[in-house]
Structure 1
Amino acid sequence: MKKLFYIGAMLALLLIACGEEEAKPKEEKPVVAQVKEKEEKKEPATITIEQYESKFIEAFNNVKGDSNTTLGKMEEIDHGRYSLILNSDIMLFADVNKKDEVTAVNLAAMSSAVDNYNNLLKSAFQAMITSVDESITDTQQSVIFDKLGITGDEKMLDHTDTYKYNDITFVYRAKNDEGTLTFQANLD
């Protein structure tokens, strides 16, 4: 009987000891996982409309093919939406959230801009990419253009493509029947 009592007591101690050892790693794992998750999960960089305007104008001036084009200022056209006119066929739109942080940028153009203002349109596309992510190189921009079918000729006038790069979703839409094309960057 003493042996049975002794074995029972040992089993109870063993179960309690094992239970405590298992509880400690379970408690530590979520904390360690949370710390690692916070380290790995980087908050997306935020940018105000004024900062974005400055970045776009600087990028545009660095890449523009038409030295005669000068840009004005971004104007609020609706609550949360701003625009910048590049010329009569090409406009830039920026959407902001309640904190006035840019969430999406769109370049809209008439399809005639492909023929009439090809260099200006290309410069605007390049400036838009650079202004949403300065780390994107010229080679990476070419990859983005290839993935989206932005060729600079009539082939780009009637299709839609999406490509995600550096947590930015780029969307290209062209509708030949409407005579419009848009290039959008959604900052995720």
Structure 2
Amino acid sequence: MKKLFYVGAMSILLLAACGEEETATITPDEFKKLENGMSPDEVKEVVGGQPKNPDAKENDNLLLELDYDGENGVDKESSVSLIFKDGKLNSIIEDGLMTEKVELTKEQKEKIFEDVSNSMNKASTGAIDEYESTLKQIIAKTKSNSNINMKDKGLIEAGRYSIELKSDIFIFIDVNKENNIEKISTAVSSNALATQNKEVKIAFEALLQSADKTLSIQQQSAILDKLGFTGDGKLVDHTETYTLNDVMYTYHSSIENDSAILQAKLK
């Protein structure tokens, strides 16, 4: 039976050159106006043009590096590298513009960028790491003799992570620009509903516990009942919403999409 999960395409940040737009340089005065949190367009307003690498794209960690030559700096040949995370300026690296130039090998420059990338990625996924740890503890306590084998999280697009519990059972975590969790969803295929009903229930209950740690077992069962999850393994067209303790739960199943989703939206 087919399995259908929609995973949005990775969003890509582009800084496009328009017409005969000039390549900008950065002066010390312009450098002092650059601030973390700026968007590429805001940086463009400060420096007056495009970087040397206008076709640069975000990497898999949502990092974008834009490079500029310096102008009127401490050294005749100076440079500035701006590193953006999720579309916001996160790191400013100058070489010879404000301080004396230090000659670095290509390997050293790559190592600096890798260190900055790792540092920013570690800082930005704190809430996700904490949630993943919580979920692992819940799964470990509730899995009993089921064959759920929780895998590490993966970034599938900007602001969205996935955790695979089984081949037909996934948990998706959506975060906002501040990297706070906004929404948690458990998606299962019709095949999982029909043949892995025990695992589906464990996954749904784990989502409820991770979204609201105060819920009792009775409250979890009541939420699933109110949402219309019968546990009989049948897939029907159905949507129901229920709110408790400032968490809005939605259960949606679709024959056309061949899947069912339990979602917890945090307020």
With the length of structure 1 as denominator, give the TM-score of the two structures. Answer: 0.71
Q: Distance in 2 between matches of 1:66 and 1:86?
A: 14
Task: Give the Cα separation in 1 of the matches to 2:180 and 2:201.
Answer: 26
- Shift in CA distance, 120/66, structure 1 to aligned 2, threshold 3 Å: farther
- Note if 1:99 corresponds to 2:182: no
Distance in 2, Cα, partners of 1:156 & 1:165: 25
Runs of 4+ in 1 over 6 A off after TM superposition: none
1:136 aligns with 2:136: no
Distance 2:237 2:137 in 1: 31
Which letter maps to 1:95? D
Instruction: Map 1:37-186; keep pairs closer than 5 Å.
Output: 48-154=127-233, 157-186=236-265
Q: Which has the higher contact order (CA 8 A, sep 6+)?
A: 1
Question: Structure 1 CA distance, aligned partners of 2:224 and 2:146?
Answer: 23
Q: Assess if the C-alpha contact under 8 Å between 1:64 and 1:119 holds in 2.
A: no
User: Aligned partners of 1:65, 1:120: CA distance in 2, in Å?
Assistant: 10
Q: Provide the residue aligned with 2:266 in structure 1.
A: 187
* Largest Rg, 1 or 2: 1
What does 1:8-23 align with in structure 2 at a 5 Å threshold? none
1-side partners of 2:219 and 2:156: how far apart? 32
Alpha-carbon distance, 1:154 to partner: 4.2
- Cα shift at 1:169: 0.3
**Structure 2: which 5+ runs fail to align?**
1-125
Shift of residue 155, structure 1, vs aligned partner: 5.2
Q: How many residues align?
A: 142
Q: What is the distance in 2 between the residues matched to 1:76 and 1:171?
A: 23
Q: Secondary structure at the match of 1:48?
A: helix
Contact 1:126 1:141 in 2 (8 A): yes
In structure 1, runs of 5+ residues without a counterpart are 1-46
Cα RMSD for the two superposed structures: 1.5
In the alignment, the residues of structure 2 paired with residue 66 and residue 177 of structure 1 have an alpha-carbon distance, to the nearest angstrom, of: 32
Q: Distance in 2 between matches of 1:65 and 1:118?
A: 14
Deviations 1:23-80 (A, max 9, x none): xxxxxxxxxxxxxxxxxxxxxxxx8111111111111111124443221111111110
Q: In structure 2, what is the Cα distance between the partners aligned to 1:119 and 1:154? A: 10
Instruction: Flag the 1:86–1:171 CA change in 2: closer, same or farther, 3 A.
Output: same
Q: Residue 177 of structure 1: CA displacement?
A: 2.8
Q: Which residue of 1 aligns with 2:49?
A: none
Q: Distance in 1 between matches of 2:264 and 2:188?
A: 15
What residue number does 1:14 align with?
Answer: none
Amino acid at match of 2:206: A
TM-score using structure 2 length: 0.51
Cα contact 1:65–1:120 (8 A) shared by 2: no
Q: What is the SS of the residue equivalent to 1:157?
A: coil
User: Could you say which structure has the higher helix fraction?
Assistant: 1
